[in-house]
C-alpha cells in the first residue's frame, strides 16, 4: 500500500519533510508551503561555534537551529496539530508505524542516516538528525519520501528499524510524528513575521559570544589561532570539519544562507513588503562569502594555500560575513518587530 | 550564487542522486538547481574517510600484533567508539573494553558473539577471523 503523497525534492531534510507533510494535509485552496518558507517560518537560520562540544573529537559548528525546531515552530505558528510519539521497544515502534500507514497517514520519522541503505556509501556517517516521511509498505519494504533524494526510495524493514533506533548523540528513540488537524484557513503572513523576528533575535540578541553573528567573529578569531595552537595537521582536520558542517548536503549551499535569502524573497512577495528584497540580496552576499571561505579552507586541506588563503585572510572573510549578517538581522528585527 | 556558478564536481554522490542548491537567475530570483557536488566538499569528505581508514589500519595492526581482538576492527569499520558500541550492544563500556582484549575475546559466550556479529552484519566466523580486504564497505 502506498499513500498518494507528493514528493518534492528539497535541499534540507527537515524543511522538506515539514513542507511536504503540511502540503499533503492542507486543502488545495490553501497556499502551498515551499521548503524555503518552512525554513524561514521555522526560524531555521542560526550560527553557533561550540568548541567545548566535540563531534568525532572536533568542535561543533552549526549553521541552523537544533533538530526538530523547524517542524515544531512551523506547525505551531500555523496552528497545525501534531501527534508526537517516542518508543521504548522496536516492535512497538514498527507496529505503530504500520497502523498509521494502514489508516492512510504519511508519518514523519527521525532516523540515523548511517543505517539507511539507500544513502550513498560515502555519506554514511553516524548522525541522528535525518528526517524522512514513510508513505507506504510493500511486502517487507517501506516506501519512503526522503526529501534529499530526487525520487521516492525503498528501505527494508530491518534497516528502517535500526535507523529509527540509532544510538549515540541525539538518539531518535523511534520518534515519529504526524499531522492530526489543520485549521480552516492557513495564514502565512503572521507566521512569516514571527519567524523572521525569532530568527533575527537568536542571531543578534544572544547573550553569549559563541552564538549568532558574534559567534561568526569568534570562529574567525579561533581559526586565526589554530595553526600555532594545534599545528598544521590538526588545523587541516578542523578546517575540513568546518567545510563539511557548512556545505553538507542539506544546506542548499553557503551554510543555509542562500535558502534564507530565497525565503526573504518569497516573504517580500507574500507580505508585499519591498523592504525585504534588499535583505535577501544581503544574505546572498553573505552566502557567497561563506562559499569563498570554504574554497580557501579546501586549499589548506589540499596543501595548496597561497598568501590569499592565510588564516588571517580567512578571518577577514568571516568578519565580513558577520558584518553583513549583523546589519541584515538588525534591519529585519526592526521590520518584523 | 548564480545558476551558471552552481558547481558540478563529481565526487561523493556518484549515481545516488543529486543535491539541491539555491541559486539566482539573471533577474536575481531564487531557483532550486540540482548539483552533483562541489570540490571543497569532496576534499573535506575524502579527508574524513582517510581518518576512518587510518583507524581501521591501526586496528588491523594491533590485532596482528596481538594487542586487540577482531571486534576492534569491526568497531573501526562501523565508525564506532567504545561508548557507541556499548550502547548498540546494551553493555557497559568496561565490558566492551574487556571484549577488545584478545584473551577475553576467546572466552566470550556464543550469544554475545552472535549479537556482535548481527550488529556488524557479518557471520560469527568472519567476526572471529580478520578479513584480508581493507574494508571500507564491510558494513555495506
Could you give the CA distance from residue A258 to residue A281 in angstroms, rounded to a whole number? 9
Q: Is A152 left (phi over 0), alpha (psi -120 to 50) or beta?
A: beta
Q: Which three cell numbers stand for residue A329?
A: 538581522
B139 inside domain: no
**Total domains in the fold of chain B:** 2
**Residues listed for chain A:** 337
B12-33: pLDDT as tens digits: 777 778 899 999 999 999 999 9
Could you give the CA distance from residue B20 to residue A251 in angstroms, rounded to a whole number? 9
The reply to whether B93 and B56 lie within a common domain is yes
The reply to whether B31 and B64 lie within a common domain is no
Neighbouring C-beta atoms of residue A30, cutoff 10 Å = 18
Residue in chain A closest to B23 (alpha carbons) equals A258
- Looking up residue B88, the CATH number of its domain turns out to be 1.10.260
ipTM of the complex: 0.92
A331, A264 Cβ separation under 8 angstroms: no
User: So where are chain A's domains?
Assistant: 13-33+81-181, 188-336
Would you list which residues of chain B are within 8 Å, Cβ to Cβ, of chain A? 1, 6, 11-14, 16-24, 28-30, 32, 34, 38-41, 43-45, 47-49, 51, 79-80, 84, 87-88, 136-137, 139-140
In A62-121, the residues whose Cβ lies within 8 Å of chain B are 114, 117-121
The reply to whether B16 and B73 lie within a common domain is no
A153 SS3 class: strand
The reply to whether B26 and B90 lie within a common domain is no
The reply to whether B59 and B120 lie within a common domain is yes
Could you give the CA distance from residue A75 to residue A78 in angstroms, rounded to a whole number? 5
B76 inside domain: yes
The reply to whether B63 and B121 lie within a common domain is yes
Residues A134, A136, A138: CA angle, nearest 5 degrees: 130
A44 Cβ under 8 Å from any chain B Cβ: no
Residues A303, A306, A309: CA angle, nearest 5 degrees: 95
B17 inside domain: yes
B110 inside domain: yes
Q: Encode chain A (337 residues) as per-residue pLDDT tens digits.
A: 899 999 999 999 999 999 999 999 998 888 899 999 999 999 999 999 999 988 878 899 999 999 999 999 999 999 999 999 999 999 999 999 999 999 999 999 999 999 999 998 888 899 899 999 999 999 999 999 999 999 999 999 999 999 999 999 889 999 999 999 999 889 999 999 999 999 999 999 999 999 999 999 999 999 999 999 999 999 999 999 999 999 987 788 999 999 999 999 999 999 999 999 999 999 999 999 999 999 999 999 998 888 889 999 999 999 999 999 999 999 999 999 7
A323 Cβ under 8 Å from any chain B Cβ: no
Q: For residue B22, how many C-alpha atoms fall within 13 Å in the half-sphere facing its CB?
A: 33
A213 Cβ under 8 Å from any chain B Cβ: no
Chain B residues with CB-CB distance to A239 below 8 A: 44
B65 inside domain: yes
CB pairs under 8 A between A and B: 122
To 10 degrees, the CA torsion angle through A130, A136, A137, A138?
-120
CATH number of A13-33+81-181: 3.90.70.10
The reply to whether B70 and B94 lie within a common domain is yes
Chain B residues with CB-CB distance to A122 below 8 A: 11-14, 45, 49
User: Is the CB of A121 less than 8 angstroms away from the CB of B140?
Assistant: yes
What band does B140 get if pLDDT is binned at 50, 70 and 90? very low
Could you give the CA distance from residue A199 to residue A204 in angstroms, rounded to a whole number? 9
Q: For residue A1, how many C-alpha atoms fall within 13 Å in the half-sphere facing its CB?
A: 10
Smallest Cβ–Cβ distance between B84 and the set A10, A118, A126 belongs to A126
Beta bridge partners of residue B20, listed in sequence order: B34
B134 inside domain: no
**Strands, DSSP E only, in chain B?**
19-24, 30-35
Residue in chain B closest to A260 (alpha carbons) equals B22
B57 inside domain: yes
Instruction: Determine the pLDDT at residue B132.
Output: 61
The reply to whether B60 and B107 lie within a common domain is yes
B112 inside domain: yes
Which domain range does residue B66 map to?
48-128
Amino acid at each position: 500500500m502506498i499513500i498518494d503523497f507528493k514528493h518534492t525534492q528539497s535541499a534540507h531534510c527537515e524543511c522538506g519533510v515539514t513542507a511536504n507533510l503540511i502540503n499533503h494535509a492542507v486543502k488545495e485552496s490553501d497556499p502551498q508551503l515551499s521548503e524555503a518558507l518552512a525554513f524561514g517560518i521555522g526560524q531555521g537560520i542560526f550560527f553557533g561555534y561550540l568548541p567545548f562540544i566535540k563531534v568525532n573529537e572536533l568542535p561543533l559548528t552549526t549553521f541552523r537551529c537544533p533538530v526538530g525546531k523547524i517542524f515544531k515552530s512551523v506547525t505551531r505558528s500555523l496552528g497545525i496539530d501534531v501527534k508526537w510519539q517516542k518508543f521504548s521497544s522496536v516492535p512497538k515502534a514498527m507496529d505503530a508505524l504500520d497502523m498509521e500507514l494502514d489508516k492512510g497517514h504519511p508519518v514523519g520519522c527521525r532516523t540515523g542516516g548511517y543505517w539507511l541503505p539507500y544513502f550513498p556509501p560515502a555519506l554514511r556517517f553516524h548522525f541522528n538528525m535525518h528526517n524522512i516521511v514513510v508513505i507506504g509498505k510493500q511486502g517487507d519494504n517501506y516506501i519512503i519520501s526522503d526529501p534529499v533524494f530526487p525520487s521516492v526510495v525503498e528501505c527494508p524493514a530491518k534497516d528502517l528499524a535500526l535507523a529509527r533506533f540509532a544510538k549515540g548523540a541525539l538518539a531518535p528513540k523511534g520518534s515519529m510524528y504526524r499531522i492530526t488537524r489543520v485549521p480552516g484557513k492557513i495564514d502565512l503572513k503572521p507566521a512569516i513575521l514571527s519567524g523572521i523576528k525569532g530568527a533575527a533575535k537568536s542571531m543578534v540578541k544572544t547573550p553569549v559570544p559563541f552564538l549568532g553573528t558574534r559567534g561568526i567573529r569568534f570562529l574567525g578569531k579561533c581559526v586565526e589561532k589554530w595553526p600555532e595552537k594545534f599545528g598544521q595537521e590538526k588545523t587541516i582536520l578542523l578546517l575540513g570539519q568546518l567545510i563539511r558542517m557548512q556545505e553538507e548536503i542539506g544546506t542548499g549551499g553557503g551554510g543555509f544562507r542562500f535558502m534564507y535569502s530565497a525565503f526573504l524573497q518569497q516573504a517580500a512577495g507574500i507580505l508585499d513588503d519591498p523592504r525585504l528584497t534588499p535583505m535577501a540580496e544581503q544574505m546572498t552576499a553573505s552566502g557567497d562569502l561563506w562559499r569563498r571561505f570554504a574554497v580557501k579552507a579546501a586549499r589548506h586541506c589540499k596543501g595548496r594555500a597561497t598568501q590569499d588563503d592565510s588564516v588571517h585572510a580567512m578571518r577577514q572573510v568571516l568578519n565580513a560575513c558577520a558584518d553583513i549578517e549583523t546589519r541584515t538581522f538588525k534591519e529585519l528585527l526592526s521590520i518584523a518587530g | 550564487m548564480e545558476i551558471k556558478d552552481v558547481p558540478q564536481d563529481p565526487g561523493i554522490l556518484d549515481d545516488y542522486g543529486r543535491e539541491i542548491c539555491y541559486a539566482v537567475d539573471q533577474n536575481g530570483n531564487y531557483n532550486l538547481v540540482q548539483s552533483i557536488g562541489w570540490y571543497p566538499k569532496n576534499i573535506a569528505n575524502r579527508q574524513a574517510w582517510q581518518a576512518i581508514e587510518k583507524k581501521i589500519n591501526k586496528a588491523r595492526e594491533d590485532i596482528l600484533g596481538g594487542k586487540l581482538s577482531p571486534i576492534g576492527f569491526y568497531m573501526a569499520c562501523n565508525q564506532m567508539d567504545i561508548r557507541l558500541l556499548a550502547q548498540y550492544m546494551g553493555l557497559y563500556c568496561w565490558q566492551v573494553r574487556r571484549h577488545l582484549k584478545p584473551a577475553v575475546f576467546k572466552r566470550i559466550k556464543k550469544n554475545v558473539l552472535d549479537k556482535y556479529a548481527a550488529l556488524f552484519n557479518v557471520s560469527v566466523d568472519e567476526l572471529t577471523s580478520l578479513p584480508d580486504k581493507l574494508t571500507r564497505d564491510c558494513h555495506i
